Structures are given as structure tokens and as C-alpha cells.
Amino acid sequence: MTLLDDIRTDMSPKKGTLTGALICFCITIIIFVVIPYALFAVASGSPGGGMTFIGDADGLEEGVWGWVTDMMKYAFPMVLLSVFIGFYRAGSYARIPFKVLFALYLATWLWIASHGGVFTFQLVSGGMTSVIEFDVRYIAYVLIMISFAMLFLTFSEFGGNRKKYLEALERKKDTMSKRKARRLSG
């Protein structure tokens, strides 16, 4: 069997698991959509708690809400990629392209979500406009480097789990052939 044959058989939908896809989907939705929304809801002064901004800080709240919605909006490609990552098991050739795309998009998403590492908010109070900037470039750079490290982890995960994956496929194949033999003999 050649490498191309291995890749073709691993890409078969029969080799995937819907349970894994659902679990990855839920985890990614929680991390990239639910948590940012919940943090903003708590911080924006939801009834019974939250931050109270001094003075007229509608501009700050609108700026933060815009940032949160951008984070959630741009996270949906990662959610879709996570479905395929969860669908194919570790050690499968089919999982590699989705994990690589996920890592590359995560780096892009971090850059977009952090606005290049500088957050700028405008506050309008009375007739005066003030600008607030938060510089978090170095934190963004470190997070982006970590997401690029995920590229290398993709291949180490594949190498570390390939043997177990092939053994599981062989066990499944043996079980199916035993069932087929029982059906034919009985």
C-alpha cells in the first residue's frame, strides 16, 4: 500500500466519528463564542453586577462590544475546522490539513482579535473627545508564536498516535470480518 492509498483511505468518511466532531464543535464554540460574550455581559454592567464606568463611557463600552463581536464573528471558520479535527482521529492523515489550517487561522484570528496588539477606544464626554490606547503587542506576539507552534505539534501528534490508530483500525476490521463470518455461517 502506498502513501497515497493510505491518505485516501484515511480521508474516508467511514473513518470518522460524529461524537468527536460534536465534542470539538462544542468546546470551540464555548471557548471562542460563549466565553467572550459572557465576559462582556458581566463586565458591561448586566443587572445585578458588572463594572460601572466612571463618567460617560458609552464609547468605551461600544468599542469593547465591537471587539467582542469581531472575536465571535471571525471565530466561525475555526469552529468549522474543529468539526473536522474532531471527526478524524489522532494518527489519521485526514486530520493533518485541518489542524494545520486551524493553527494558521488561529494566528490570523489572534492578530485580528488583538487589533495588531493595540486597542484604541474613543470616549466622548460633553464636547471633549479623549482616546484611550492599550498596547498589548508583546502578549499578542507570544500568543501568535504559540499558535504557530501548533503546526509542529500537529505532526508530532500524528507520529505519536499513528501506530495506535492503525491498531484500532485493524481491530475494527477483525471485528467486522468475525461478524460477517457469523452471519454467513448462521
Taking only the tens place, the pLDDT of each residue in 154-180 is 999 999 999 999 998 899 888 888 888
The cell for 14 is 467511514
Q: What angle do CA 43, 45, 49 make, to 5 degrees?
A: 90
Q: What is the pLDDT of residue 183?
A: 85
Q: What is the pLDDT of residue 95?
A: 94
Q: What is the pLDDT of residue 6?
A: 83
Q: What is the pLDDT of residue 5?
A: 84
Nearest-Å Rg of the Cα atoms of the chain is 23
CA-nearest of 71, 183, 56 to 122 is 56
Amino acid (one-letter) located at 5: D
Give how far the C-alpha of residue 72 lies from the chain's centroid of Cα atoms, to the nearest Å. 11
Q: What are residue 130's DSSP bridge partners?
A: 123
Q: In the chain, which stretches have pLDDT less than 70? A: 1, 44-61, 63, 121-125, 186
pTM confidence score:
0.79
Q: What is the pLDDT of residue 184?
A: 84
Q: How far apart are the first and last CA of the chain?
A: 34
